[in-house]
Amino acid sequence: MASTQNTPAWLLLKDGTIFKGISFGAKGTTGGEICFNTGMTGYQEVFTDPSYTGQVLIMNNAYVGNYGVKNEDVESDSVKISGLICKNISDRFSRMNANDNLENYLVNNNIVAIHDVDTRALVQHIRSKGAMNCIISTEFSDEAALKEALAKVPDMDGLELSSEISTKEPYTAGSPDAAIRIAVMDFGVKKHIIQCMVDRGAYIKVFPAKTGIDELKKFEAHGYFISNGPGDPASMDYAVKTVKDILATNKPFFGICLGHQLLARANDIPTFKMHHGHRGLNHPVKNIITGKSEITTQNHGFGVDPEAVKNSDKVEVTHVNLNDGSIEGIRMKGRAAFSVQYHPESTPGPFDSRYLFDDFIGNIKKEML
Ligand X SMILES: NC(=O)CC[C@H](N)C(=O)O
Asked whether the beta carbons of 122 and 24 are under 8 A apart, the reply is: no
Residue 362 CB burial class (10 angstroms; 0-12, 13-18, ≥19):
middle
What does the angle CA 126 – CA 131 – CA 134 come to, to the nearest 5 degrees? 90
**257 assigned to active site:** yes
Strand ranges across the sheet with 293-304: 171-173, 202-207, 180-185, 223-226, 253-256, 337-340, 327-332, 315-321, 271-287, 293-304
Closest CB 220 distance from ligand X, rounded Å: 27
Point out the catalytic residue in the list 160, 257, 276, 328: 257
Nearer to ligand X, 39 or 231 (CB): 231
**Does the footprint of ligand X cover residue 230 (CB under 6 A)?**
yes
Report the alpha-carbon distance of residue 76 to residue 329 in Å, rounded.
Answer: 25
Among 258, 264, 330, 361, binds ligand X (CB under 6 A): 258
Tell me whether residue 301 is annotated as binding: yes
Cβ neighbours around 169 below 10 Å, total: 7
Q: Which part of the chain contacts ligand X (CB under 6 A), choosing from 26-34, 103-111, 215-223, 293-301?
A: 293-301
Q: Which of residues 47-76 bind ligand X (CB under 6 A)?
A: 51
Closest CB 64 distance from ligand X, rounded Å: 21
Tell me whether residue 229 is annotated as binding: yes
Element (H, E) at 135: strand 133-137
Report the alpha-carbon distance of residue 279 to residue 294 in Å, rounded.
Answer: 16
Nearer to ligand X, 60 or 261 (CB): 261
Q: Which part of the chain contacts ligand X (CB under 6 A), choosing from 96-104, 119-127, 228-236, 241-249?
A: 228-236
**345 assigned to active site:** yes
Binding site for L-glutamine: what residues are annotated? Answer: 51, 229, 231, 258, 261, 299, 301-302
Indicate the annotated binding residues.
51, 229, 231, 258, 261, 299, 301-302
Q: Which stretches of the chain bind ligand X, using CB under 6 A?
A: 51, 228-231, 257-258, 299-302
